[in-house]
Amino acid sequence: MLHANSEGLAPGSDVVAVNGGIGIDIIGVDKIFGASGANGFRALSPISLGINAGEFVSVVGPSGCGKSTLMLMVAGLMKPTNGQVKIEGSGLTGPLTEIGIVFQDHLLLDFRTAEANVLLQGEIRKLSMGPVRKRAAELFESLGLQASADKYPNQLSGGMRQRVSLARALVHNPPLLLMDEPFGALDALTRLQVRRDLETLWLQQRPTVLFITHSVEEAVGLSDRVIVMGPSPGGVVEEIPIQLKRPRPLAFGESPELRDYANRIYAHFERLGVLH
């Protein structure tokens, strides 16, 4: 189990448990949809990538390059065409359970309130509900959702629903977080707040995080390592360790180093014709 070291750690938050993270190996994984052979559609070139327990890794790449496909395969929700995903050294054979997932489109149950959607995590895992309720209340407060707890998904804005799905992914303090463009539906200010909340949470609990985004700033600001993917069918163009202390500034103007990392990624996208 990995524990937070002291760099930049926010003091004394009252969390349910420190789970540390779990390690992932993505070994030669690719995806071809539809017919096998030449008639299939190749969505992902073979990818090999190791993610250490407690590491925060972002995948950044253009729309359609296969980021969501990769995440679904890591979650065990889609089978790779070739290759294998290993979790803590064991081959993945079905959907992972000890994880928190935030999908690109929030997937909330319409017939449950926001709070009941979040508490569902504890119910299906048969966790002791006292700490889960407490953690849910903390998350609702830090995500600005207190007034929304009793509302149903169709009474909430897209940004609010996305924040509820973030709370749902975090409430059981999972050792692995898979996040697919989790901030996409948020307004700019909330997006910065939630990014900071995620960084704080990660510093406290060190879950392993696979964070998928098309935002270079978010990837550089949050990650230990950024995986840059090329256009469809995406493959890894460069792996960039981000060796900067945390917490990192939200505005890159304050940090020439952050800006340099971001420019290095933009240069790939320009060279690959993703940016003109």
Ligand X SMILES: Nc1ncnc2c1ncn2[C@@H]1O[C@H](COP(=O)(O)OP(=O)(O)O)[C@@H](O)[C@H]1O
Residue 5 one-letter amino acid: N
Out of 23, 30, 32, 69, the residue judged to bind ligand X by CB under 6 A: 69
Distance from chain centroid for Cα 245: 20
Among 206, 210, 169, 202, smallest CA distance to 85 is for: 210
Regarding 64 and contact with ligand X (CB under 6 A), the answer is yes
How many residues at the interface with Mg ion, by CB under 5 A? 2
Out of 22, 43, 85, 198, the residue judged to bind ligand X by CB under 6 A: 43
Out of 22, 24, 47, 65, the residue judged to bind ligand X by CB under 6 A: 65
Element (H, E) at 105: none
Mark the segment that binds Mg ion (CB under 5 A) among 66-74, 158-166, 215-223, 236-244.
Answer: 66-74
Q: How many CB atoms lie within 10 A of CB 3?
A: 10
In this complex, which beta carbon is closest to ligand X, that of residue 244 or of residue 274?
274
Regarding 68 and contact with Mg ion (CB under 5 A), the answer is yes
In this complex, which beta carbon is closest to Mg ion, that of residue 96 or of residue 212?
212
Q: Taking CB positions, which residue lies at the least distance from Mg ion?
A: 68
Residue 65 binds which of ligand X, Mg ion, none (CB < 5-8 A, kind-dependent): ligand X
Site for ligand X in 76-115 (CB under 6 A): none
Regarding 33 and contact with ligand X (CB under 6 A), the answer is yes
- Residue 112: φ, ψ to 5°: -120, 145
The residue behind tokens 């990014």 is 195
Mark the segment that binds Mg ion (CB under 5 A) among 10-18, 63-71, 95-103, 123-131.
Answer: 63-71
Site for ligand X in 193-252 (CB under 6 A): 232
Out of 23, 54, 66, 175, the residue judged to bind ligand X by CB under 6 A: 66
Mark the segment that binds Mg ion (CB under 5 A) among 39-47, 68-76, 107-115, 215-223.
Answer: 68-76
Residue 41 binds which of ligand X, Mg ion, none (CB < 5-8 A, kind-dependent): ligand X
Q: Are 227 and 49 in contact (CB under 8 A)?
A: yes
CA contacts within 13 A on the Cβ side of 78: 19
- Residue 230: φ, ψ to 5°: -90, 175
Q: Is 184 exposed, middle or buried (0-12, 13-18, 19+ CB in 10 A)?
A: middle
Closest approach of Cβ 14 to Mg ion, in Å? 34
Regarding 68 and contact with ligand X (CB under 6 A), the answer is yes
Three-state SS for 54?
coil
Burial 41-69 (b: 16+ CB within 10 A, else e): ebbbbbbebebebbbbbbbbbbeebbbbb
* Site residues for ligand X per CB under 6 A: 33, 41, 43, 61, 63-69, 232
